[in-house]
Amino acid sequence: MHSLYQRANGLTGLLSSCLIGLLALVALTSFLFPAHPKGDVNIKTLKVRWGQIDRHPAQEWAFVQFDLQTDLESLFHWNTKQLFVYLVAEYTGSKGVANEVVLWDRIAKIKYVFRDFNKTFRNASAVELSVRYNVMPYVGVLTSGEVGRTSKERFPALQTQG
């Protein structure tokens, strides 16, 4: 501690330890806030069409229109940097393949379309939509959960017009 350099060294050393401690405490506080988000989602329409979208080959596509209401206030605390909310379609295809597909997310705000793994929705199980979220903290652990779910809806037959 004789020289300026030694004092500066000691200061930055203790500061680093304090910073690490502070960040660890902040990360831990994330667990103090119990999450009770609420949500409600309904399918308005569900259609199946043949087409060629983006770079994917021609196949059947399902189009969904849905209603969504959520109250995610309780998920926001000082360590919440952002919330990533997304809508997922879950169903089992005709060959027994279980599928989960993201249709929509909050940041992008685009109505997505989705395609089946085996190019056709015929004989697939009924589809359920669920709203899920991802909490991204400033520092610490990422958490996620589900907020709402529709009832099951069958895929309609392939439409050639409309």
Partner 1 sequence: MSSQIRSLLEGKIDFEGQKLAEKIVQIGLISSTIVSFIVGFVVQDLKVAFAILSVATIFIALITLPPWPVYNKHPLPWLKSQNSKKEQ
Partner 2 sequence: MFSDEIRTIQKLGVRYVVLQVLNFTQVIISGLMIWKALGIVTNTESPIVVVLSGSMEPAFYRGDLLFLMNPRNTPYVVGDITVYKVPGADIPIVHRVIETHTVGPLPTDQSLLTKGDNNRLDDLELYKGLRWLQRKNIIGKVHGFLPYVGYVTIAMNDFPQLKYALLGFLGLMALIQRES
Measured in degrees and rounded to the nearest 5, phi and psi for residue 41 equal: -135, 140
Selected from 3, 151, 160, 161, the binder of partner 1 by CB under 8 A is: 3
DSSP code at position 6: H
Burial string for 65-80 (b: 16+ CB within 10 Å, else e) reads: ebebebebeebeeebb
Is the CB of 57 or the CB of 162 nearer to partner 2?
57
- Selected range binding partner 2 among 33-41, 59-67, 70-78, 140-148, rule: CB under 8 A: 140-148
Q: Please pick, from the candidates 21, 51, 145, 156, the single residue that binds partner 1 as defined by CB under 8 A.
A: 21
Q: How far apart are CA 100 and CA 53, in angstroms?
A: 19
Tell me how many degrees the CA angle 123-129-130 measures, rounded to the nearest 5. 145
CB 66 within 8 A of CB 43: yes
- Residue 138 interacting with partner 1 (CB under 8 A): yes
Contacting residues toward partner 1, per CB under 8 A: 1-5, 7-8, 10-11, 14-15, 18-19, 21-22, 25-26, 29, 77-79, 138
Binding stretches for partner 2 (CB under 8 A): 23, 54-56, 81-82, 84, 86, 88, 93, 97-102, 105, 107-108, 114, 117, 132, 134, 136-142, 144
